[in-house]
Amino acid sequence: MEATILPYTKTDLVRYFLRLGTIGFGGPPALVSAMHHDLVMERQWISEEDYREGLALAQLAPGPLAAQLAIYLGYVHYSILGATLAGLAFVLPSFCMVVVLGWAYQHFGGLPWMQAVFYGIGAAVIGIIAIGTYKLTTKTVGNDPLGWILFSLSAVATAVTESELLWLVLMSGGIYWFAKTPPSSIRPGWGSSVAPFIAQVSAVPTDSILWKLAFFFAKAGAFVFGSGLAIVPFLYGGVVKEYGWLTEQQFLDAVAVAMITPGPVVITVAFIGYLVTGFTGACVAALATFIPCYLFTILPAPYFKRWGKHPGVKAFVDGVTIAAVGAIAGAVIVLARRQLVDAAAILIAVATIALLYRFKKLPELGIIGGAAVVGLLLRYIG
């Protein structure tokens, strides 16, 4: 039997995720949409079915959505090695940028230009993720009436509560499952849950600040569901309120750094770790956060691939995927409410949407750079 020749190599995989981690602005909505556009529609490295399974698993498991999807897509054709390479390549660029910004922040007494840059970039990012979410929605939901109902429920719930509701995602999967498959065929016969073993290591007695960082960020990675944005309230409660590692302003700056750098939003943990104990703290915080999400992806991945074609499982995955895309659309609304604070910001976002809709091949990095310049001009000259 002749071996299947894949359209890409492990080197291609690493190059792609290094590039996405370097220039992929906009957080989970933009990154998830970019992976679909680049890997499914344009390059055709990943099938629509595999992408949906990955998005469903990333939505169901705790941890940062975009990073888990990247890990799963690396797993599809190259197993654990591919998952590891994809995850590292995706996270490494933004980790390096955040560490450099952490050094600059400490040595120059804050980054006063940060808010001005973020003002322009943030408005443009809203336009970028709006276009990306629109394309992902039309591709995922299509003309399915039930799909649009579940999508709308998830979008509205996310926009109103400003959080992604796991129970609603599971319910959408169940409803779609029952609607699309006969009750007699609903016997998936698999379980994708992974025991939350990471919590057990917290019993190890130690007063070291690095151990405290590791335990806290491991909990953040293991028990916070939803996108990278969902981890922010959890981090605030720990690093500001409980441990007092950062001041309110430092924490807000940490979130701003994560938003103005490409890659996963949850990389803000590295900035926080750097401010607490320097480079070692950044490494500990990042590893502790991402190792749980890596394990929660690669351990159930074989079951998703093995039974993902079963009609009942496929229907459940489709329902979960629709709800996940709805949550992404709702997150766009949440972000827009916070970022589009005046007429200038709205104008930047609308102009971005119009440019990307009109010119399909327009590089997003160019728009991001232009928006940053506009933000600086408006803040310091306007």
Amino acid 332: pLDDT = 77
For the chain, percent of residues with pLDDT exceeding 90: 19
Q: What's the CA gap between 132 and 148, in Å, rounded?
A: 17
Residue 8, Cβ neighbours under 10 Å: how many? 16
Question: What pTM did the predictor assign?
Answer: 0.67
Report pLDDT for 366. 80
Q: In this structure, are residues 284 and 214 in contact, taking their beta carbons and an 8 Å threshold?
A: yes
Convert the pLDDT of each residue in 311-321 to its tens digit: 776 677 777 77
pLDDT exceeds 70 at position 339: yes
**Residue 198 in this model has a pLDDT that exceeds 50:** no
CB proximity list for 52: less than 8 A, separation 6 or greater:
140, 317, 318, 321
pLDDT of residue 70: 94
The Cα 244–Cα 1 span in angstroms is: 61
The string of pLDDT tens digits covering residues 120-138 is 877 887 787 788 778 778 8
Query: What's the CA dihedral at 60, 63, 66, 70 to 10 degrees?
Result: -90
| H-helix segments, 10-64 | 10-23, 27-35, 48-60
Question: What pLDDT, in 10s, does the model give residues 82-94?
Answer: 999 999 999 999 8
Reported confidence tier of residue 195, pLDDT bands at 50, 70, 90: very low
Question: Over 70: is that where the pLDDT of 26 sits?
Answer: no
Higher pLDDT, 53 or 163: 53
The residue ranking higher by pLDDT, 201 or 223, is 223
Please check the confidence at residue 193 and state whether its pLDDT lies above 50.
no
* Structure-block tokens of residue 226: 């939803």
143-155 confidence digits (pLDDT tens): 888 888 988 898 8
Rounded to an integer, the average pLDDT of 59-68 is 79
**65 or 277: which leads in pLDDT:** 277
pLDDT category, 293, cuts 50, 70, 90?
Answer: confident
Residue 217 has pLDDT above 50, yes or no: yes
Q: Mean pLDDT throughout 62-79?
A: 88
